[in-house]
Structure 1
């Protein structure tokens, strides 16, 4: 079975039946041909929205629980308290190539990339779509392709770059150097930014990427590739856009309180995935999985180097984004679990109140702060960090006196702001250089051995899945894995 195994052709014409919540389109009576999909605004829209529906249709997928939970377990702020071999491999940074979740991290993004390519090609050739819908669906498809390649390259390093829907051409593609993948991600996000508009398509909910989502991801991609001036510019563009704000009211009953940040369509939302499966009152898979009935299995780290001691006294994020459970013991053992999502099971039959957050407005301030400090714009970088801190009820920082002291503040604020969101902490530790000056080492090499004695630098990349190696003669393993 070739590489095509991971970019399932069955999904090519995009599961219109799964899109009913977004666009009311009758299912075709036979297999759709591309020219049929892109012969009307309704079917073309259903094609792109179907990708989001599939991203969030079931639990433990790349686009919901897995990237957030296993990314956090791979770092240092989150553990699974029971014994489960497939999770333990991430917690211990000793992942086996046959781990089924590694296969999911690989196969699902490539599936969405393939479908995005089909939309780019089909909509691009169509003469029947209205100009507005054509721009919208192509812009979203470029965004999806960039988003998925971004996560693939951060999880696996060099990965095949798939830019067409031609499965024969894509079979047995070798790994593309990381720099080239990033260049493609940036190009796709620039195309998406040009094609999309600031308003949200469809019913106006923030569940389809818009120009602001593309701009925020572009700022992140520039930051990750060291293009700090460009990252600053794009983050500033996000911050200057009306309709977004940090929820910072001090009164928990107020709709603008930070405890409301993860509600559906909150002003802090740049892009969320809408709930697809509302059975039994589910809102988000994250909340349904992590909010416990009694003792939590998913717990925040609280030892000396854990995230709980990292919060400063009075930080509202600790008060409102993390919850506690008093385990029966003598003395009482206080357990901590993420509480950004607060609904485990809502009222059956009632509308959801929370959607899964993918991109959040606060990241723009953190990106700009880091980009400015890297350019030695210390006062401006401090100001951005202080915006985040004031919302959390903390005192202002003084200006850093060097890049090193400024980056220590950036690392702290990113850790306590973005915990348990889409692998941010894991990616940060891997992308920042070691502060010890050791050549080729990263912050992961500084930090993770403190709590993970068996840590090896090669664990910074996940293994290429066993099935991918077996099915593609041109794929090579990552260093440190015996494949």
Structure 2
């Protein structure tokens, strides 16, 4: 608990003192520093790097990664009341203008993160401090800057590239191609971060970026660039670190008791009940209104629900009911889910906490982290890269690890109504996996295995804000087919979201 408090509260305090966090301006101002006066001590360097994490959090409503990753995809609809958050509905319908609210806010949040990282990389090397701590802070800043650029380039495409602090009169900068952003910002930052970051932390530092997080993000970057060999090799390096494994029950990735677990490669930290505020607002944004004071946004679609496999006897992949609230099944508070709570008949469960943890009166102050990179994701990246290299037999075990964990939730979760077997009269019983549930994939045809990996990504990582970006990187034909129910979507026009109007108004070097 102390770890999250230190990481996020100190970030908020720095934002207050340096005027970079408008959401907290109602708090008492603790001091004023110019950039030059602030970066003087090791303690100030630590505050600065803590502040560089805050644009990733869901403590404010400005981070709308879920809108771009889920609502824009085939996995979720806007949800909520008709007319509420209309700009999210316009993204859902691909009626998107540069003045769109989430288009504006996401750009601002990500570039704010880049600004903070650039300041750290420029100023922290001159501070007289522990070399170990200094190198770690610089590694964290490079990891975070790479992550911000990764989000930006996959949402907006060609964007201005800023790798050092600049004055206002130096910010008339045109867009750099996507490949340039990867090759001049994302890849070198992560390669350098890997050299400087530790493999793990203890105490109050748990939750910071690690060598594994930087290695995993580099593998993801290579995958998105279709650098298959580098992606496969780098994903294998994450495994070789030895700190990561799949949790025995899929749903443990999304509960308070397993925060920062062995399956978490990198998570955005949140903590409830703090001043300044550091909670996770998604707990309210995605909750039902009835009895929970929620807004019921990001509602899963019928198509997403139908993607989950069933046995011939009708037993469904257990990940469905860990991920989605649906009719007749238990919701997070134990009551039966009412499909009238959502315009699609479904709500997402992965970011929800029971009222016993977060009562309705403080629903928007959630305690769950957002897990940006899970080990299951790394395994599927490696499987995908190996398959694209024609090494399908090597990809199969990685894919099947993920499927095995999913089906064996029946062995490890006593709440599942698993069939029971035992020796008659022995007095012993053993939980079993339902017959035919999520069998290992055995087909090594590259095309068939590609489809199996794509399917597995959708059900394993659904409602975790990855789907739209997967659709776009898998190409025009795949994306057009997946989004065929969105008549306004065309890949050529909507591959990337428009650069915000505010940037167009201030940066006259942009080209369109």
CA distance in 2, matches of 1:95, 1:80: 14
Match of 2:393 in 1: 379
Cα displacement string for residues 308-365 of structure 1 (whole angstroms, at most 9, x for unaligned residues): 0000123121121222232359xx998221111231653579x975222222111110
Residue in 2 aligned with 1:289?
A: 285
Distance 1:188 1:285 in 2: 30
Report the counterpart of residue 480 of structure 1 in structure 2: none
Tell me if structure 1 keeps the 8 A contact 2:17–2:32.
no
Partner residue, 1:475 = 510
CA contact (8 A) 2:272 2:367 kept: no
CA distance in 1, matches of 2:200, 2:186: 23
Name the counterpart of 2:469: 427
Match of 1:335, SS state, is coil
Q: Do the aligned partners of residues 56 and 16 (structure 1) sit closer, same or farther apart at CA in structure 2, a change above 3 Å counting?
A: farther
Shift of 1:467: 1.4
Please, which of 260, 265, 283 is the counterpart of residue 265 of structure 1?
Answer: 260
1:195-253 Cα offsets, whole Å, 9 max, x none, are 111113661422x1111110110000011111111111111111232332211249x8x
Unaligned runs of 5+ in 2: 1-11, 22-27, 311-315, 327-336, 408-437
Paired with 1:375 and 1:262, the residues of 2 have a C-alpha distance of 39
Contact 2:323 2:463 in 1 (8 A): no
User: What secondary structure sits across from 2:346 in the alignment?
Assistant: strand
Encode CA deviations 1:354-401: one digit per residue, 9 max, x unaligned. 222222111110110100000111111111111111111121001321
Aligned to 2:217: 217
Equivalent positions of 1:273-422 (< 5 A) are 273-275=268-270, 278=273, 283-294=279-290, 297-298=296-297, 300-303=299-302, 306-313=303-310, 314-324=316-326, 325-327=337-339, 335-343=345-353, 346-347=357-358, 354-393=368-407, 394-402=438-446, 404-422=447-465
Residue of structure 2 equivalent to 1:481: none
2:107 maps to 1:106: yes
> Could you state the TM-score of these two structures normalised by the residue count of structure 1?
0.82
Q: Once the 2 structures are TM-superposed, how far is the Cα of residue 52 of structure 1 from its aligned partner?
A: 2.0
- Aligned residue runs from structure 1 range 129-144, under 5 A: 129-144=129-144
SS in 2 for 1:79: strand
Shifted more, 306-315 versus 160-169: the winner is: 160-169
Q: Alpha carbons of 1:264 and 1:258: their partners in 2 closer, same or farther (altered >3 Å)?
A: closer
Question: Which residue, 477, 487, 500 being the options, matches 1:465?
Answer: 500
> How far did residue 263 of structure 1 move?
3.8
Q: Please provide the CA RMSD for this pair.
A: 3.1
| Displacement of 1:418 | 1.4
- TM-superposed CA distance for 1:161, in Å, is 0.6
* Mapping 1:216-235, distance limit 5 Å: 216-235=216-235
Residues 298/190 of structure 1: CA separation in 2 closer, same or farther (3 Å cut): same
- 8 Å contact from structure 2 (residues 60, 281) kept in 1: yes
C-alpha contact (below 8 Å) 1:262/1:341 kept by paired residues:
no
How far did 1:282 drift? 8.5
Task: Name the CA shift for 1:283/1:292 in 2 (closer, same or farther; >3 Å).
Answer: farther
Query: Residues of 1 paired with 2:368 and 2:110: CA distance?
Result: 24
Give the Cα separation in 2 of the matches to 1:161 and 1:233: 28
The 3-state SS of whatever aligns with 1:271 is: strand
